[in-house]
């Protein structure tokens, strides 16, 4: 690591910690103000509230880190412009490309740090905070959470559960459509059960009605069993109310593979999987944006506002594309990476066009 890189790293880390502290304070204050009524209504103590925000902190930090890094980098480079440090570097034959290279390598390292931090401390902390919020504030125990209108496919059977308690492995109003193995578009039998209990490889049904559509033959049984391998506890993972960004990358990948085999719609999960990688890479995009802005403007009072406006535009496009991907309007990979590709290309093109930083 050369002297220039060490200098940039040391100065940026100081600003990064300072702005992170300010950003975290503002974020927590806003969330505390927003949820205070619910904390007071639930009658929870100060210790519970403190624990909730302590667990939330890593996740919040992972979310705001790209914007915080951009502000820190732009302030640092703006100060270097104002103090004529960049002019002195050029006078000593240190090209803008050398400065940009040091910044980009530093940003790439922070991409890995942000991804690792969000996938380890961020995910585990978010789960613990959610447990406090659901169990102690809203009194929603995971063990009693109910899902309704759940569909899945396993082999030649399409299953609909009217109501299911995934943690308990039981539910009501089960309907199984058994497809003809020779003609997958034809239903060979319809099995309905008022109640069911699931176990690996053996689902126990109660009050069963079997219907053969072709002959209209209907038979009734007090109990029956099905050799379904699907574990209904996994449906807690894909609860529509679940925030997919709070799930680890490996868990999302596992569910994508399982649901792809069952024929389910996986665009939402695939988009969330790619968004995790794209969001970590956004730290590098922020570095490109900062360097491009520095090459155009020479005043610190202009650099920071322009950078913030550009960042808001980036996040707006990022969220818009993500929404389109989750709804199947564009491919998940394109939806997650479109904002990164566009802003990195524009900023990179500007950096390639300029021969030096804006020093005047």
Q: What pLDDT, on a 0 to 100 scale, did the predictor assign at position 175?
A: 94
Report strand pairing: 170-180 vs 183-197. antiparallel
Q: What pLDDT, on a 0 to 100 scale, did the predictor assign at position 140?
A: 60
Structure tokens at 269: 């999960």
Task: Find the range with the poorest average confidence among 2-6, 7-11, 252-256.
Answer: 2-6
Radius of gyration of the chain (CA): 27
State yes or no: pLDDT of 51 exceeds 50. Answer: yes
Question: Rounded mean pLDDT of 265-291?
Answer: 89
Q: What pLDDT, on a 0 to 100 scale, did the predictor assign at position 242?
A: 54
Residue of 214, 337, 208 whose CA lies nearest to 271: 337
Distance CA(33)–CA(20), nearest Å, equals 20
Q: What pLDDT, on a 0 to 100 scale, did the predictor assign at position 83?
A: 78
Task: Find the range with the poorest average confidence among 12-21, 54-63, 175-184.
Answer: 175-184
Question: Rounded mean pLDDT of 98-124?
Answer: 88
Q: What pLDDT, on a 0 to 100 scale, did the predictor assign at position 263?
A: 62
Q: pLDDT tier at 360 (50, 70, 90 boundaries)?
A: very low
Q: What pLDDT, on a 0 to 100 scale, did the predictor assign at position 107?
A: 92
Structure tokens at 299: 């005043």
Question: Rounded mean pLDDT of 287-291?
Answer: 90
192 pairs with which residues across the strands?
Answer: 175, 209
Q: What pLDDT, on a 0 to 100 scale, did the predictor assign at position 239?
A: 52
SS3 330: coil
CB–CB of 147/166 below 8 Å?
Answer: yes
The secondary structure of 232-285 as a DSSP string is GGGGGTT-TTS-GGGS-HHHHHHHHHHHHHHT---HHHHHHHHHHHHHHHHHHH
Q: What pLDDT, on a 0 to 100 scale, did the predictor assign at position 288?
A: 92
Residue of 264, 262, 282 whose CA lies nearest to 322: 282
Distance CA(147)–CA(101), nearest Å, equals 51
Structure tokens at 196: 């069911």
State yes or no: pLDDT of 46 exceeds 50. Answer: yes
Q: What pLDDT, on a 0 to 100 scale, did the predictor assign at position 338?
A: 94
State yes or no: pLDDT of 184 exceeds 70. Answer: no
User: What is the domain partition of the chain in residue ranges?
Assistant: 3-139+268-353, 146-238
Residue of 283, 239, 287, 238 whose CA lies nearest to 260: 238
Task: Find the range with the poorest average confidence among 50-59, 73-82, 105-114, 207-216.
Answer: 73-82
Question: Rounded mean pLDDT of 174-198?
Answer: 87
Phi first, then psi: give them for residue 74, nearest 5 degrees: -70, -40
Question: Rounded mean pLDDT of 210-231?
Answer: 88
**182-190, long-range: CB within 8 Å, 24+ apart, which pairs?**
184/156, 187/213, 188/212, 188/213, 188/214, 189/213
Report strand pairing: 170-180 vs 217-226. unpaired
Task: Find the range with the poorest average confidence among 20-24, 143-147, 216-220.
Answer: 143-147
Which range is most confident: 38-47, 132-141, 189-198?
A: 189-198
pTM check: above 0.75: no
State yes or no: pLDDT of 248 exceeds 90. Answer: no
Q: What pLDDT, on a 0 to 100 scale, did the predictor assign at position 244?
A: 56
Distance CA(60)–CA(38), nearest Å, equals 20
Question: Rounded mean pLDDT of 156-166?
Answer: 90
Q: CA torsion, points 277, 280, 281, 286, in degrees to nearest 10?
A: 150
Phi first, then psi: give them for residue 198, nearest 5 degrees: -100, 145
Distance CA(259)–CA(269), nearest Å, equals 10
Q: pLDDT tier at 356 (50, 70, 90 boundaries)?
A: low
- Mean per-residue pLDDT over the chain, rounded: 84
Q: What pLDDT, on a 0 to 100 scale, did the predictor assign at position 359?
A: 47
Residue of 178, 222, 227, 172 whose CA lies nearest to 202: 227
Distance CA(198)–CA(205), nearest Å, equals 9
Q: pLDDT tier at 112 (50, 70, 90 boundaries)?
A: very high
How many C-beta atoms surround the C-beta of residue 147 within 10 A? 18
């Amino acid at each position: 690591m050369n002297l220039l890189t060490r200098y940039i790293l040391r100065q940026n880390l100081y600003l990064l910690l300072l702005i992170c502290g300010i950003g975290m304070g503002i974020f927590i204050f806003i969330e505390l103000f927003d949820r205070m009524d619910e904390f007071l209504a639930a009658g929870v103590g100060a210790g519970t509230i403190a624990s909730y925000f302590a667990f939330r902190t890593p996740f919040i930090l992972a979310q705001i880190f790209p914007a915080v890094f951009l502000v820190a980098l732009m302030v640092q480079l703006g100060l270097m412009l104002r103090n004529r440090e960049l002019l002195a570097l050029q006078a000593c034959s240190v090209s803008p490309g050398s400065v940009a290279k040091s910044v980009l390598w530093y940003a790439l390292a922070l991409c890995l740090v942000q991804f690792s931090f969000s996938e380890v401390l961020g995910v585990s902390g978010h789960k613990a905070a959610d447990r406090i919020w659901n169990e102690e504030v809203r009194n929603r125990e995971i063990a009693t959470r109910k899902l309704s209108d759940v569909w899945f496919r396993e082999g030649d059977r399409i299953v609909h559960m009217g109501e299911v308690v995934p943690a308990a492995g039981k539910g009501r109003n089960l309907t199984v459509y058994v497809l003809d193995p020779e003609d997958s578009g034809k239903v060979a039998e319809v099995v309905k059960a008022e109640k069911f209990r699931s176990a690996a490889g053996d689902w126990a049904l109660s009050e069963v009605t079997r219907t053969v559509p072709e002959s209209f033959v209907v038979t009734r049984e007090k109990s029956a069993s099905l050799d379904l391998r699907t574990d209904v506890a996994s449906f807690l993972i894909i609860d529509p109310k679940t925030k997919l960004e709070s799930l680890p990358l490996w868990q999302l990948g596992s569910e994508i593979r399982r649901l792809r085999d069952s024929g389910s719609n996986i665009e939402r999960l695939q988009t969330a999987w790619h968004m995790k990688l794209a969001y970590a890479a956004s730290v590098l995009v922020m570095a490109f944006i900062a360097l491009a802005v520095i090459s155009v403007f020479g005043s610190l009072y202009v650099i920071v506002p322009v950078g913030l406006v550009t960042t808001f535009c980036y996040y707006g496009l990022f969220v818009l594309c993500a929404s389109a991907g989750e709804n199947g309007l564009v491919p998940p990979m394109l939806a997650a990476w479109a904002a990164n590709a566009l802003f990195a290309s524009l900023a990179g093109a500007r950096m390639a066009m300029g021969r030096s930083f804006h020093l005047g």
